[in-house]
Amino acid sequence: MKTVHQLTHAQEMSDLPGRKKSMAAIILFLLLTACPWLLWLIPGRSVQNANTENRNLAELPVFSFETFAEYPMLMDAWLDDHLPFRSSLVEWNSAIDYFLLHSSTNELVVPGKEGWLFYTENHSTDYYKGRNLFSEKKLKKIAQNMQSTKDALEAKGISFALVIAPNRERMYPEYLPDWYGIPAQPNALDQVVSYLREHTDVTVVSPYDRLMAEKEKSPETILYHKTDTHWNDLGAYYAARELLDALGIPFPVGEDAINIEKKDDTPGDMADLLNLKRLITPGETYVVSGYQAEDEETVEFSFFGHIRCKAPSRRTGRILVARDSFCSAMIPVIRSIFTESDMVHHRAFENSLIDAEQPDYFVYEVVERQLNKLLKFKYE
Amino acid sequence: MLFSSMTFIWLFLPIVFIGNAILQRFGSCKAANILLLAASLFFYAWGEPVYVLLMLVSISVNWMAGILIDRFTRQRSIVLFLDIIINLVLLAYFKYADMLVETWNTITHSDFPLPQIALPIGISFFTFQAMSYVIDVWRGECLAQKNWADLALYISFFPQLIAGPIVKYKDISEQISQRSISAEKTASGIRRFCYGFSKKILIANVLGLCADNIYSLKISAVSCVMAWIACLAYTLQIYYDFSGYSDMAIGLGKMFGFDFHENFRYPYCSRSIREFWRRWHISLSSWFRDYLYIPLGGNRKGTARTWLNLLIVFFCTGIWHGASWTFVFWGIFHGFFSLIERGRFGRAISRCHILSYIYTLLVVMSGWVFFRAETLSKGFALVKRMFLPWLYSSTGYSVWEFMNIHTVLVICIGIFGAGILQYLASLTKLNARWKYSVPEMMFCTVTFCLSLLSLVGDTYNPFIYFRF
C-alpha cells in the first residue's frame, strides 16, 4: 500500500511554489521568527520598554533540580515580559483595535464616545444596570456597621462621615456606548445612601447630586477624566466641598476667590490598560486654586500607605481618612483645610490607627463600585 | 509548549528549523532525526516536565510490544492484548480516574475522594498513535521498528504531538528513514503554517473569549440571542482552533520534510452527520473506523449489530474528547443522528440540498453546546434558550457586554472562511491563481504579523493599581 508520501509526490511537485518565491517565503519567515532577538542585541537601539503594567515583571528564573518542574513556566513568564520590542508591539496591537475597530484589547476597558474609555472591573456594569442590588439583609448589615462606627467614634469625641464617590459611568452616561442604556433605577448607590439616611444618623456624603448640578450648570466643564476612571481635580473639589459642608466646616475663602483654570489632561489608567498613553488624546482637566493655605505642606506621601499633610495656620482640627484612589484628587482640599490630615489607603488602614491618632474627624471614603466594602468595615 | 506562544514562535521554531535544515543539507537524515527527537522531547517536557517520563515509558512499552509481536508469532495476540490493556489503563488512570470515581460516588451514594490526577497534555493523541503502530505491526501492515529512536520520533514528533492529526505509522515509516527537504516544500509548509497560525490567533482566540464570557454566566442571565451568539462563536472557535492546529502541524511537517494527511475538509459544508464525520477530525474517525468499528464487525453483521457498533464508536469518540458525561452525550448525540440517517429520514433529508445543509448545521451546532457546557443540565438549558426564544427574550444583559465590532468582524470572516469563500473561489478558478501568488504571500505575511501582534498583546497584563 502506497504511503501518502508516495501518492502525493507526483502531485506535490506540480503543486509547489516556484524557487524564487520559495526562497522569498523562507527568508521572510526567518525574518519574522528568528530576527527579532538578533535585532534586540544590536547595541544603541532605542526602543520604548517602560513598565506600564502596575506590576513587577517576571524575573529571570534560575534553574535548579529542586524547582525544575516550575522552570519552563517561569521562563515562559520571563520571556513574555521581556520580548524584544514588546512595548511597541503591544501598543500597535492596541492601536489597531482601538483606532480601526473602536474596540479594546483589554476586557476591562470599553471604548465610549468622543474618546472616553470606561472601566468594567469590580462589576461596574452591574452597578450601572442595577443588577447587583443589595438585599434587605445586606443593607441592614451596612447600616449596623456604619451606625456602630459612628456611635463608637462619637463616644471618643470623633465626628464620622461616609463619602461615596459615584462611578464615572453614572456621571457621564452620554459618553457610554449605546448598548449601556440609561442608568438603572433603582441602583445600589441610591439604595445604600437612602437606606443609611433613613435608618441611621450617620453623616452620608454622596457628591452625586452636587456633581450633577455642576454638570448641568456647565455641561462643557468635565468633572471626570476622559481616559481615567477617576474624577478630576474639579470634580474632587466639589466632592470635598460637600464633605466639608456635611461636617459643618466653613470654607476659608469665598466663591469669588476660587480660580478654576483649564489645562491639558494627561492620559490616565484606562489608557495605561491599553498601553496607548502615547497615542490617545486625553482631553482637558482643571486646576482649582485660591483657597490654599500658605503654610500647607505634604509631610509624607505613600500612595498605598499614608499621605500626611499639615497646614498649621488652619484651626480646623485633625482628620483621618480611610481612602481609596478617589481621595487622591481630594488631597489638595483636605490638605488646605485641616490642621493635620492623614489619608490612609484601604490597603494599609487598620482600625487601631483611629485609636493611635485620635483625630477630630474620621472619614471613610469609598467609590461606588466597591460598595461591598461597607459590608466588612466597622469600628467598635 | 504551545504553537501559539512566543517561546515557540521566536525561539524554539527558528532554532529547530535552522538546525534541521543544516543537518539535512550537510549531515544526514539520521542526524536530523536525532535533532527532531531531542527537540520533540524538549517541546513536550517544556509543558510537562514530569510527564515527559510517562511518554517515554509509553514509547518504550509500545516499541517493545512491536518487537515482541514481530519475534514471537505464536504469542503475538497475547502481546497485542497486553499492550492495548497497558495503553488503555494508562489513559484511563490519567484521564478518567476522577470521572470514574465521581460517577461511582453518584450511583452508589458514596463519598470517595477524587484522585485529582493532573492530565498529561496530548495523552489521548500519543496513546492512540502508539496503539495504531502496534496493531498495524500485528496485522502485518508494517514492519516493527527496531530503532527505538525512530519510533520515538514517530510518536513524539512535536508538530502533531499535542493536537494531532493522529498519524499512522505506515504512512510515515518511509519518511522517517528517507526524506528530503526542498525550498519549495519548505515554502509550502510555511504557507500552511501561517494559515493555521492566523486561524488560531485571529479567529479562534477572539471567538473563544466571547464564548467563554457567555458560557461563564449563570444560566438565568443568558437570553435567546446570547445563547445563539455563544453557540455560533463556539462552533467557529472549535473549528478554527482545531483545524488551525492541524494546518500548523501539516505545515510544520512539510517544513521538516514530512507529509501528513489532511485532518479537516470544510466540515461545516456537510449535508449529513455521516458526511460531517468524513470531513471533521478525519484522522480520529478513521482511527476508530480501522481499529474499533471494523474489528467489531462494522456493518457486516446485520442492522442491529451495525447500530450497536456505531453507538459504541460514537460513545468512544465522545469520551475520547474529555472525561465528562457532556462529551459522552455529545458523542451519542452524533451517533443517534448517524443512525437515523441510514433510514428513511436520511433519504428524505438528502432530497433537498438546502434543507440538508441547515439540518446538519443545526445538529452540529446544538451538539457543540453540550460539548462546551460544564454540565448536561446547563447544556439543555442553553439549547432550550436557543429553540424557545419566546421564553427567554431579555435578561438585563446585552450581547455587547460580551462582544464588540472586532468580534462581529471575526464572526463574519469565520463564517465565510469555513467553506463559502473557498467554494466561490473554486467556481471562478480564483483559488488556483491565488495559491502561491504574490498577493497570497503578502496576505500571509500580514496575517502572520497581526497574529504576532496579538500574541505579544496577550502578554501585556496590566493592573489599574499596582499589584505587589
Q: Which residues contact A171 (CB under 8 A, 6 or more apart)?
A: A208, A211, A212, A215, A223, A224, A231, A235
Q: Minimal CA–CA distance to B240: which of B47, B10, B419, B459?
A: B419
Predicted confidence band at A45 (pLDDT cuts at 50, 70, 90)? low
Chain B residues closer than 8 Å to A119 by CB? 464
Residues in A touching B436 (Cβ below 8 Å)? 16-18, 21
The distance of B17 to chain A (nearest Cα, Å) reads 9
Per-residue pLDDT tens digits for A190-227: 999 999 999 999 999 999 999 999 999 999 999 999 99
Closest by Cβ to B400, choosing from A25, A52, A179: A179
C-beta of residue B179 within 8 angstroms of C-beta of residue A5: yes
- Name the band, by pLDDT with cuts 50, 70 and 90, for residue A3: very low
Work out the minimum CA distance from B276 to partner chain A, whole angstroms: 23
Cell numbers 504551545 correspond to: B2
Is any Cβ of chain B less than 8 angstroms from the Cβ of A10? no
SS (H, E, C) A108-146: CEEECCCCCEEECCCCHHHHHHCCCCCCHHHHHHHHHHH
Rounded CA-CA distance A54/A275 in Å is 12
Could you tell me the three cell numbers for A54? 502596575
Contacts of A76 in chain B (CB under 8 A): 5, 7
Which residue of chain B has the CA closest to A72?
B46
**List of residues 6+ apart from B174 with CB closer than 8 A:** A3, A5, A6
Let me know if B321 is a catalytic residue: yes
Q: Grid coordinates representing B394?
A: 431579555
Of B281, B321, B334, B406, the active-site residue reads: B321
Q: Is the CB of residue B457 less than 8 Å away from at least one CB of chain A? A: yes
CA of A159 vs chain B CAs: smallest distance (Å)? 30
Q: What pTM, to 2 d.p., does this model score? A: 0.91
Query: What is the full DSSP assignment across A213-225?
Result: HHHHH-TTS-SB-
Which residues in chain A are contacts of B449 at CB distance < 8 A? 32
Distance CA A35, CA A40 (A): 8
Chain-chain contact of B6 with A325 (C-beta, under 8 angstroms): no
Could you give the dihedral angle defined by the CA atoms of residues B154, B159, B162 and B167, in that order, rounded to the nearest 10 degrees? Answer: -40
Considering only the C-alpha atoms of chain A, give the largest distance between any 2 of them, rounded to a whole number of Å: 99
Q: Is the pLDDT of residue A311 over 90?
A: yes
Closest to B259 measured CA to CA, from B267, B268, B250: B250
Closest CA to B446 of B201, B138, B268, B132: B201
Euclidean distance between CA atoms B160 and B166, whole angstroms: 7
- Binary contact (B170, A3; C-beta < 8 A): yes
Query: What is the rounded distance in angstroms from the CA atom of residue A295 to the CA atom of residue A99?
Result: 47
Interface probe for A, chosen from B399, B464, B466 (most Cβ of A below 10 Å), is B464
Percent over 70 (pLDDT), chain A: 94
Q: Which of A95, A220, A180, A5 is nearest to B171 (CA)?
A: A5
Q: Is the pLDDT of residue A12 over 70?
A: no
Q: Please report the number of interchain residue pairs, chain A to chain B, with beta-carbon separation below 8 angstroms.
A: 183
Q: A160 by DSSP, 3-state: which?
A: strand
Tell whether the model's pLDDT for residue A48 goes beyond 60.
no
Give the one of B170, B187, B460 whose C-beta lies nearest to A25's C-beta. Answer: B187
Residues 279-318 of A with CB under 8 A from B: 303-304
Indicate the residue of A17, A76, A103 with minimum beta-carbon distance to B187: A17
For residue A90, pLDDT beyond 90: yes
b (16+ CB within 10 A) / e for A52-68: bbbeeebeebeeeeeee
Q: Are strands A306-310 and A284-289 parallel, antiparallel or unpaired?
A: unpaired
What is the structure's pLDDT at B468?
A: 61
Nearest chain A residue to B213, by CA: A107
Cα–Cα distance between B423 and B377 in angstroms, integer? 38
Helix (H) or strand (E) holding A298: strand A297-301
CB-neighbour burial class of residue B150 (10 A; exposed 0-12, middle 13-18, buried 19+):
middle
Q: What is the predicted pLDDT for the residue at A109?
A: 94
**pLDDT of A110-133, one tens digit each?**
999 999 999 998 789 999 999 999
Q: Are B280 and B267 in contact (CB under 8 A)?
A: yes
Please name the residues in contact with A280: beta carbons below 8 A apart, sequence gap of 6 or more: A98, A115, A117, A227, A267, A271, A274
A52 touches chain B (CB under 8 A): yes
Q: Which residues pair with A309 in a beta bridge?
A: A298, A341
Task: Name the β-bridge partners of A260.
Answer: A288
Q: Identify which of A33, A125, A303 has the shortest CB distance to residue B13.
A: A33
- Chain B, 156 to 215: residues with Cβ < 8 Å from chain A are 170-175, 179, 182-188, 190-191, 194, 209, 213
Q: Give the separation between CA A169 and CA B173, rounded to whole angstroms.
A: 64
Mutate to test the interface with B, among A1, A16, A20 (most CBs of B within 10 A): A16
Neighbours of A369 (CB within 10 A): 27
Q: What is the amino acid identity at position B257?
A: G
Give the A window 54-113 contacts with B, CB below 8 Å: 54-56, 68-69, 71-72, 75-76, 79-81, 83, 86, 89-90, 92-94, 96-97, 101-108
Note whether B394 contacts A: Cβ–Cβ < 8 A: no
3-state secondary structure A341-380: EEEEECCCCCCHHHHHHCCCEEEEEEEHHHHHHHHCCCCC
Task: Work out the mean pLDDT of chain A and round it to a whole number.
Answer: 91
Cβ within 8 Å of A, B 408-437: 409, 436
Given an 8 Å threshold on Cβ–Cβ distance, is B170 in contact with A1?
yes
Q: Which residues of B touch A15 (CB under 8 A)?
A: 188
User: How does DSSP classify residue A268?
Assistant: -
Per-residue pLDDT of chain B (468 residues; tens, 9 = 90+): 899 999 999 999 999 999 999 999 888 899 999 999 999 999 999 999 889 999 999 999 999 999 999 998 888 999 999 999 999 999 999 999 988 898 999 899 988 888 888 889 999 999 999 999 999 999 999 999 999 999 999 999 999 998 889 999 999 999 998 888 899 999 999 999 999 999 999 999 999 999 999 999 999 999 999 999 999 999 999 999 999 999 999 999 999 999 999 999 999 999 999 999 999 999 999 999 999 999 999 988 888 999 999 999 999 999 999 999 999 999 999 999 999 999 889 889 888 889 999 999 999 999 999 999 999 999 999 999 999 988 887 788 999 999 999 999 999 999 999 999 888 888 887 888 888 999 999 999 999 999 999 999 999 988 877 766
CA A18 vs CA A22, A331, B186: distances in Å: 6, 69, 11
Measured distance CA(B395)–CA(A86) in Å, rounded: 41
Average pLDDT estimate for A332-355:
96
**What pLDDT does B238 receive?**
96
CB contact under 8 Å between A37 and B183, yes or no, is no
What ipTM goes with this model?
0.88
Cα separation, B432 vs A261, whole angstroms: 66
Contacts of B397 in chain A (CB under 8 A): 131
Q: What secondary structure does DSSP assign to B16-62, as a single string?
A: HHHHHHHHHHHS-HHHHHHHHHHHHHHHHHHH-TTTHHHHHHHHHHH
Cβ distance of A16 and B436 shorter than 8 Å: yes
Predicted pLDDT of residue A8: 41
How far off is chain B from A22, nearest CA to CA, in Å?
5
Q: Is A174 touching B (CB cutoff 8 A)?
A: no
Q: What is the pLDDT of residue A2?
A: 40
Whether residue A105 has pLDDT greater than 80: yes
Orientation of helix B148-156 relative to helix B123-139, angle to 10°: 130
| Angle, CA of A160, A163 and A167, to the nearest 5° | 170
Cβ <8 Å between B174 and A28: no
Is residue B407 within 8 A of residue B210, CB to CB? The reply is: yes
CB-based burial of residue B66 (10 Å sphere; 0-12 exposed, 13-18 middle, 19+ buried)?
A: buried
Enclosing H/E stretch for B296? helix B294-296
* A17, A94, A107: residue with CB nearest B188: A17
Length of chain B: 468
pLDDT bucket at A9, cuts 50 / 70 / 90: very low
Instruction: Check: CB of residue A282 under 8 Å from CB of residue A227.
Output: yes
Q: Taking each helix axis as running N to C, give the angle between helix B205-215 and helix B224-255, from 0 to 180 degrees, rounded to the nearest 10.
A: 150
Helix then strand then coil, % of chain B, to nearest 5? 75, 0, 25
Helix (H, G, I), strand (E, B) or coil at A71: helix
Task: Give Cα separations from B60 to A330, B66, B67, B213 (angstroms).
Answer: 70, 10, 11, 43
Residue with cell 459618553: A175
Nearest to B459 by CA among B11, B8, B5: B5
Name the DSSP letter for residue A59. Answer: P
Matching residue, cell 493532573: B118
3-state secondary structure of B437: coil
